[in-house]
Structure 1
Amino acid sequence: MHVVLLGQYPPHIGGVSSHTYLLSQELKKRGDEVYVLTYPHPNVKDLDGVKVETSFAPNIKGLRGLFFLISSMFKLISMVRHYNIDIIHAHFLLPPGLIGVVVGKIMGKKTVVTAHGSDLLIQADKPILRPLIKFVLNNTDYVLVVNNTLKDMALELGVNPEKVHVTVNAIDTVKFNPQNKDFPSDIQLSQNKPIILFVGNLVFQKGVKYLLEAKKLMKYDAELVIVGDGPLRHELEKKADEEEIGDVLFVGARRDVDKIMPCVDLFVLPSVSEGFPITILEALASGLPVVATNAGGVKEVMDESVGLMVEPSKPDELARAMDKILEDRELREVMSTAARKHSIKYVKLDIPY
């Protein structure tokens, strides 16, 4: 079978990109030919036997998605014809899902859409986008969601239950493992303090402002490393500086997270909304205890054996949970062992087509 994946893919960084890469490799293992159409990036190239192409989309705020929508439809039609594509699999409902469904109808091809989180949690609540999302969901052949919360939301929008499948994210446990210790030399940290790690986009949904407030409330002396970039970075850096929240280091988006994770002591995800967080899987595979908020699919990927869950937007609860794990070395070691074991459950993706 010839499959084209549409949406984020390496060298883009993020959870969706990690997911689509692992999916492409699973498809290849079962004998499929895999092609990718992704957003523009200066370092786009074919990767591990997968043909990767891009379409035109200038990096202009508010217009990138529109240009990608239009140019990708023409590009995808060309790829379907040239590579004799059987299935179009779009990741994220808008714009990739809309592109995939429209082209699928034009070309008479089966389509699959995967909802990863904010497309149903946030976009579907916007009156101008809700009709488009319902159109995508009701006109595709398969609707894949990464947790049961998203499944319920899709069903509320009137999707046929028979075509909705929960397919949780997976993790490369060879790449992410406790022995993979090679902390980047360009990140300068204190040598005698435990390290707390956050990895993710610096957007409102990730709740990083609550993490900074929790850091200020903590009793245990630790260093916080924030890996990621996004529209709120300047505001968050300013908050840390003006409120004199010490030992906080912003290091931007990085491609060596697998080298960083095994070298730290605790992973924190303070999201206010979430899909099925790949970063938690990566942290667990790296042997890290986790403190996370009970948002979206978080409760489906972790339990009290591997970390602590608190309510979203509650910096005091977040601070107490981080203190509890960092103060208790024995608890940390038990959770670390359990984390690695727990992650092994997520080594393979379920592909329902």
Structure 2
Amino acid sequence: MKVLIFMTQFYRLSGAERLAVELAEELNKRGIHSDILSMYTENMSGVLEAKEALLRKGIPAVHFLGMKIHPPITSMFPAILKLRRMIRDEGYDIVETSMISPTVIASWATQGTRARHVAGLHHVYRRELHNSLQQMFWRFSVRCNKRIRFYAISDYVTDCWVEYSRTSPLYTRRIYNAIPDDSFDVVPDRYEVRKDLGIPGNARLAIYVGRLVAYKGIDTLLNALSPILEKENLFLLYVGQPYLGASGTQEMLQQIERQVAEASWRDRVKFLGYRKDVPRLMASSDILVHPTRTEGFGLILAEAMATGLPVVASNVEGIPEVLAGTDSVMVPPDDPEVLRKAVLKILNRRPEEAARAIKKGQIRAEDFRIEKRTDAMVKLFEDIRMGWL
């Protein structure tokens, strides 16, 4: 079996991109030839270095489709033809995608070839919310390819996709996301982390990890914790970068900046930006708070549990699946008072209760190891090749 992992880019790895690269690496370790294809050109800063790193990790070949960032719709047609030639010349059996633009291109390029297209679904899609021209064309494209099959990151995402796309539920398989192995192996470094951040050694840390966008509820988080930061000797860490393309985000971030700047507790809120040591930060914190308004899975929740970090999260969409069987606390979104009480409940747990909750979280996190996701993906590819799906 020969597989092509087709993604937008691989030089800045966020959730879906990291999972795509990890899949290619794991498949090659198992003797399944898996190449990587980037939608963009290689003439961008950092791309050649990232390519060399992938080749050193055992990826046999790294290809580029040569498109510009935010390409016009007319550039799709040459890209489809180029990918079609690549599929035939290289003899790929499976083309895997997990982002909208690569999925559109591959859904047309694989038609009439031996290759089967497998598309990953990483978000919740609803017709009343996701009806732009791009999304409508994406939906039309996958419906035109009768041999395409899908995998979704949770049962909730699966159900929403079937309704959104009007495709058969038999064509979509649920395969959970995976978290890095180093999340399980990280050693807490509470004193050094606090020292590095200029925080007292006896302080408690609440941490948020993810994009700084309006739909993640980071304004609710600040409103929930600001009244107790000084009283509880608590510091709040925001880890992640803003994404100003999301509706309402710029205005929300400006409001948060003003709110923090004018407060007596302003030194207790820290915006750390992008960090490479997220597992270390989480293992050395006291609680992860994830107040999102929408979430198909919640990869950071699984990572937090693997490090032994207690979790408070919104009770929305795919999150109950991720936290099933744990003592994590789920709350309604957009309710600062309830969120504050949930945080205090976890921070004030008795030692034996806290230890039991941590153990349950770590057991649940085992379900999201890379090995299990790779097993499921290989089974999916094999079932498709055999014509069973």
TM-score band (shorter)? 0.7 to 0.9
What is the aligned residue count? Answer: 348
2:116 pairs with 1:110: yes
Task: Report the residue type matching 2:354 in the other structure.
Answer: R
| 2:156 paired residue number | 149
Per-residue CA distance 1:25-80 (angstroms, 9 max, x = gap): 33223321111123556333142212334444555xxx358598567545534542
State the identity as a percent: 25
Counterpart in the other structure of 1:133:
138
Give TM-score, length-normalised by structure 2: 0.79
Partner in structure 2 of residue 179 of structure 1: 187
SS at match of 1:125: coil
Whole-angstrom distance in 2 between the partners of 1:15 and 1:123: 25
Alpha-carbon separation, structure 1, partners of 2:274 and 2:39: 17
Instruction: From 205, 212, 232, give the equivalent of 1:202.
Output: 212
Q: Does 1:336 align with 2:344?
A: no
Query: What letter corresponds to residue 282 of structure 2 in structure 1?
Result: M
Q: CA deviation at 1:133?
A: 3.4
Alignment-derived partner of residue 99 in structure 1: 105
Q: Equivalent residue for 2:240?
A: 228
**Alpha-carbon spacing, 1:237–1:124, altered in 2? closer, same or farther (3 Å):** closer
> Structure 1 residues 6 and 187, CA, compared in 2 at 3 Å: closer, same or farther?
farther
Letter in 2 for 1:100: A
Say whether the 8 Å CA contact 2:292–2:314 is kept in structure 1. yes
Distance 1:146 1:206 in 2: 18
Which structure 1 segments of 5+ residues have no match? none
Deviations 1:63-119 (A, max 9, x none): 358598567545534542453222111102x2121011011126452101011015x
- 2:202 is equivalent to residue 192 of structure 1: yes
Indicate conservation of the 8 Å contact 1:110/1:141, yes or no: yes
Distance 2:149 2:79 in 1: 21
Tell me the C-alpha RMSD between the 2 structures.
Answer: 2.9
CA distance in structure 2 between the partners assigned to 1:6 and 1:262 by the alignment:
33
What TM-score do the two structures reach when normalised by structure 1? 0.86
Report if the CA contact (8 A) 1:201-1:228 is conserved: yes
Partner of 2:169: 161
| Matches of 2:72 and 2:120, distance apart in 1 | 18
- The one-letter code matched in structure 1 to 2:258 is E
How far did 1:289 drift? Answer: 0.7
| Aligned residues of 1:177 and 1:262 also touching (Cα < 8 A) | no
Alignment partners' CA distance in 1, 2:74 and 2:212: 24
Instruction: State the Cα distance separating 1:5 from its structure 2 match.
Output: 1.2
- Larger radius of gyration, structure 1 or 2? 2
> Is the contact between residue 180 and residue 262 of structure 1 (CA under 8 Å) also seen in structure 2?
yes
How far apart, in 1, do the equivalents of 2:83 and 2:310 lie? 42
Distance in 1 (CA, whole Å) between partners of 2:226 and 2:213 is 20
In the TM superposition, residue 304 of structure 1 has moved relative to its aligned partner by 6.4
Q: Which amino acid counterpart does residue 175 of structure 2 have in structure 1?
A: T
Q: Which amino acid aligns with 1:292?
A: A
Instruction: Report the counterpart of residue 45 of structure 2 in structure 1.
Output: 42
Task: State the shift of 1:178 in Å.
Answer: 4.3
Query: What letter corresponds to residue 226 of structure 2 in structure 1?
Result: K
Q: Which amino acid aligns with 1:334?
A: R
Q: Deviations over 1:263-308 (max 9, x none)?
A: 1111111111111121111111111111111122110010463410
**Alpha-carbon contact 1:3-1:32 (below 8 Å) kept:** yes
In structure 2, what residue type is equivalent to 1:171? I
Residue in structure 1 matching 2:257, options 241, 259, 283: 241
Whether 1:76 aligns to 2:68 is no
Distance 1:273 1:179, change over 3 A: same
Aligned to 1:113, what secondary structure does the other structure show? strand
Structure 2 unmatched runs, 5+: 382-389
Distance 1:226 1:21, change over 3 A: same
- CA contact 1:178–1:287 (8 Å) conserved in 2: no
Give 1:204 shift.
2.5
Q: Contact 1:214–1:315 at 8 Å: present in 2 too?
A: yes
State the alpha-carbon separation in 1 of the partners of residues 315 and 103 from structure 2.
28
CA apart distance, 1:257: 1.4
Counterpart for residue 384 of structure 2: none
